[in-house]
Structure 1
């Protein structure tokens, strides 16, 4: 992050003519830098059309398909079940060149993904089931995909279709490779920025 900050500061202050301009540029850069999503930051993904957050609950599993940990569009306010640690292994993510992983904060080492060997179907329609799984315990690691790319060929979708497990009702989240629409738009919200240290 220091390289980014230094580079931006240099570019913006190259033609500064006064101390006031220098202070203004410094303030703008620090505000921008404080809003950047860095590797290992805590985020929430808000579904634009419904206003609900991508959520999971440890020990709550699909009763069909993979039987892995359930993914759903939950509360309209962020809560502990909707927090994810974003991982991409470098200073900053770039739109078209970065694979990301989303680790569910409340679950033990579980990541958002799809099991593409069987392409398990979602409970309510024929789209691919999205689940949360511990990558160390997937029976065939070659078929579990937890790496997402910003310009990926499969996309997260949520819609008003609901399904039940026991007495609880959930708004479905699926993965698809069809034409994009309003049900495919998500907003990344920065909850807590990771602070890099000398040991990172």
Structure 2
């Protein structure tokens, strides 16, 4: 998110960021946007994930010192008027010099819904080859087995407990972009196949 400035004249200093009109990804995923469920399309979900991976890749490689966010979650991903993802809340982030091996034992954040560990539930579904049973109905109606499984396989690699087994953010970014192009290509083919061909005048 773009930082415009700060105010030091208050008891607690305040940061002034750009106005993000579409709220957080969390609100849209959980139906808390204007109290009306806002179901994001499968293509937009992958596009948002791709844009977020761009931001993380820049943090990891676009500066002399690497920056690790450490708190990536849907409530820290904002969406602007064009539904472009904006990563925020770097209060837990740290900066290290290139070559330092600080994150060897860092584990991905675990998510809970009630008493259910969503990461464990996802891993079990992948191991039992029944991932489609836990996928959102809208994703099932808009996606194909190929792109859903490709996205799931990438997510499975990203939650490995051993850091050496997780893909680098560049690899994540490129794979998400490939999946995004795959979805767009299939949607364009579906649109083309439903159009009525023009008849010859002869």
The structure richer in helix per residue is 2
Q: Do these two structures clear the TM 0.5 threshold for a shared fold by scoring above it? A: no
Q: Hey, which of these two has a bigger chunk of strand by percent?
A: 1
Per the normalisation by structure 2, the TM-score is: 0.25
TM-score for the superposition, normalised by structure 1: 0.25
1 or 2 for the larger relative contact order (CA 8 Å, sep ≥6)? Answer: 1
